[in-house]
Structure 1
Amino acid sequence: MDLKKLHCFIRVAESGSFTQAALILDQSQSLVSRQVRQLEVELQQTLLQRNGRGVTLTAAGRRLLDHGKGILRQVEVAEQALKNIDGIHKGKVNVGMTPTLGKLLTVDLVTAFFAEYPDSSLSIAENLTYWIQKRLILGELDIALLYNPAPSAYLNYQLLWTEKLCLIVPSDFSDNTVNSIALHEIINYPLIMPGGRHMIRHLVEIECTRHGIVPNVVIEIDAIPSLLLLVKKGFGYAILPANALNGVGQVDGLKALPIEPALMNRVVLATSSQRTLTPLAKKTIEILQSGIISMGYNLN
């Protein structure tokens, strides 16, 4: 498979248009179209459906797009490894993490990374664990920080730390004598929670079911900063780790009450079991771990 043709196809697929892809690639539209067509002939598959508004992916096209990104990423990794054969000089690392962890870790990671490797580049993607895990499996990411990830033969996991989930409430909630909330009392509080694909939501529902409790979820919202603002405004309460109140963009006027018996959230570092990490990616993991320790967490 010609990598230039694959790269061309990916640009067309992502932009949804031969015209836009040609602008991005700085090539003529006819050349872009010809390369994609040649790739279709080589693979004996129709990859794109052309229409008056642009293009849409066929089933084969979607499959190739998923794998193609990983292929190009692996080529990039190989090139980096050869360039850095005598040591770590420059390269790129792609990191994925949940938004809550991003709020907590991103600034320190970026600061430490570029202090040590100023000639390298760093890409950080934030999304739900489900999507970050998928991108890691496809080869689009080198490192991921996840909440309670599902088992996968394609990934290696390292448990970083565990943390108690808390009921997030306004600072003037009850009085200062209330230091925790019993799990069975959760049904008394209208909850603002992330959607069903969020792993903390999944964990809460599993534990509530195990204890015969049905949580009263009145609002679903994946954006944690917006969720916390709604709690502050009195629309309900949230169940999150206490560190959701820390980091960049923190919301004042809230406090975290641990839930008893404890609902334990697992924070996991994930890498691919199918691909070798570059030296720079390994160093990035060390930077992450050092930053986490400096914040007071005990790594498992």
Structure 2
Amino acid sequence: MELRQLEYFVAVAEEASFTRAAERVHVAQPGVSAQIRRLERELGHDLLDRSGRGVTLTDVGAAVLPLARVALQSVESARRTVEEMAGLVRGVVRVGMVVSCGIMDLPELLSAFHSSHPDVEITLVEANSDALIESLLDGQLDFALIGYAGSAPDGLSVRVLADEPLVAAVAPEDPWYGRESVSLDELLERGLISLPPGTGLRGALDAACGSRRPRIAFEASAPPMVITLAQRGLGPAILALSMTDGLHAVRITDPSPSSRLGFAWRSEGPHSPAARALIRVAENQVTAKP
């Protein structure tokens, strides 16, 4: 049994496709198929069901999959331990960020990190906070900028960059223009403009509403479009106070929801030396800012 066979098996199981798995491991598809066949012959059982249009796990394959993941993770942990003992910082660090985040200059951070650690490969993805949190917890990401409401998500350490109240941002023609505050009950009577579920701002709004559901008239995937829709007089936009460019911010009361933005990483390792180095660079950058 070879490690690459386990790696190919895990890739096919997770991708449900030999083609996508081959692209993921950068090996021709026949090579992936051949290695998994050798693994199945050695184990004496089929791990994958190839009879349908897609690829699915057999009962034996489903039992072997978590063990294969553990074996691969153990080898990676051993490799990282050796690198640490040798004082090496290299490999890959995987970074995520919420869409249209302007609080932290991530390109500046990544540039500073690259200058210090040119041998480390850096990858970056944008997604909603819920997806980033899930990716952090399952090890697909090492570090991410996330938005959230309340306390830090379970299993993550978070360095808070901003903690802001949510407001109803309105254009001059809106009936709430000029008001200082509105109650949550009043807010629930209006059709609102909001980011989608899974974002930190929407999570803060939903948490404040509790069992009641806000009426979302317009939903946009990024704050600039939410702002534009509100500027066109289409209703109150639910935004953090710092986002209300060109709009009048009306405080929400009874209760007063707030949203936090911060960079996060798994509380429990293992963290690669590269990931820990990136976290140190990020914390130094934040501490240095006024």
Between the aligned partners of 2:219 and 2:58, the Cα distance in structure 1 is 33
Which of 259, 269, 275 is the equivalent residue of 2:269?
A: 275
Q: 1:91 to 1:183 in 2, by over 3 A?
A: same
- Matched letter for residue 265 of structure 1: S
- Give the counterpart letter for 1:107 in structure 2: P
1:164 is aligned to 165
In structure 1, stretches of 5+ residues that fail to align are: 246-251
Distance 1:59 1:244 in 2: 51
Q: Compared with structure 1, are the counterparts of its residues 56 and 266 closer, same or farther at alpha carbon in structure 2 (3 Å cutoff)?
A: same
Tell me how far apart the structure 1 counterparts of residues 190 and 268 of structure 2 sit (CA, whole Å).
45
- Structure 2 distance, partners of 1:5, 1:142, is 25
Contact 1:108–1:291 (CA<8 Å) still a contact in 2?
A: no
- Aligned residue type for 2:226: L
Shift of 1:176: 8.0
- Match status 1:50 vs 2:50: yes
TM-score by length of 1: 0.71
Structure-to-structure mapping, 1:26-37, within 5 angstroms: 27=27, 29-37=29-37
Q: Specify the SS of the correspondent of 2:124.
A: strand
Q: Give CA-to-partner distance per residue, 1:255-293, whole Å, 9 cap, x none.
A: 644434531223354433442323332232232234444
Aligned match of 2:216: 217
Determine whether 1:265 maps to 2:277.
no
User: Is structure 2 residue 194 aligned with structure 1 residue 193?
Assistant: yes
Counterpart in 2 of 1:96?
Answer: 96
Q: Secondary structure at 2:90's aligned position in 1?
A: coil
CA distance in 1, matches of 2:18, 2:54: 7
Partner of 1:230: 229
The residue that corresponds to 2:138 in the other structure is 138
Partner amino acid, structure 2, of 1:240? L
- Whole-angstrom CA distance in 2 between matches of 1:200 and 1:59: 42
Asked if 1:288 is matched to 2:267, the reply is no
Per-residue deviation at 1:191?
0.9
Q: Is the 1:49–1:56 contact (alpha carbons within 8 Å) kept by the matching residues of 2?
A: yes
SS in 1 for 2:169: strand
Matches within 5 A, 1:72-91: 72=72, 75-76=75-76, 78-91=78-91
**Is the partner of 1:271 in helix, strand or coil?**
strand
Q: Aligned partners of 1:206 and 1:33: how far apart in 2?
A: 48
Structure 2 Cα separation of the partners of residues 64 and 208 of structure 1: 44
SS in 1 for 2:50: strand
Structure 1 counterpart SS, 2:118: coil
The residue aligned with 1:249 is none
Question: For residue 206 of structure 1, what is the aligned residue in structure 2?
Answer: 207
Distance 2:102 2:68 in 1: 27
| Secondary structure of the structure 2 residue equivalent to 1:259 | strand
Deviation for aligned residue 1:130:
2.5
Q: Given residue 282 of structure 2, which amino acid in structure 1 is its aligned partner?
A: L
Q: Which moved more, 1:222-231 or 1:105-114?
A: 222-231
What are structure 2's unaligned runs of at least 5 residues?
none
Query: Post-superposition shift, 1:139?
Result: 1.7
Q: CA deviation at 1:4?
A: 0.6
What is the rounded CA distance, in whole Å, between the counterparts of 2:273 and 2:42 in structure 1? 35
* Partner amino acid, structure 1, of 2:257: L
* Aligned match of 2:109: 109
Distance verdict in 2 for CA 1:53–1:76, change over 3 Å: same
Q: Check the 8 A contact 2:196/2:221 in 1, yes or no.
A: yes
Matches of 2:119 and 2:185 in 1, distance apart?
53
Distance 1:291 1:266 in 2: 19
Q: Structure 2 vs 1, CA of residues 237 and 77 (structure 1 numbering), >3 Å: closer, same or farther? A: farther
TM-score by length of 2: 0.73
2:65 and 2:243 map into 1 onto residues whose CA distance is: 34
Aligned partners of 2:174 and 2:235 also within 8 Å: no
Segment drifting more, 179-188 vs 119-128: 179-188
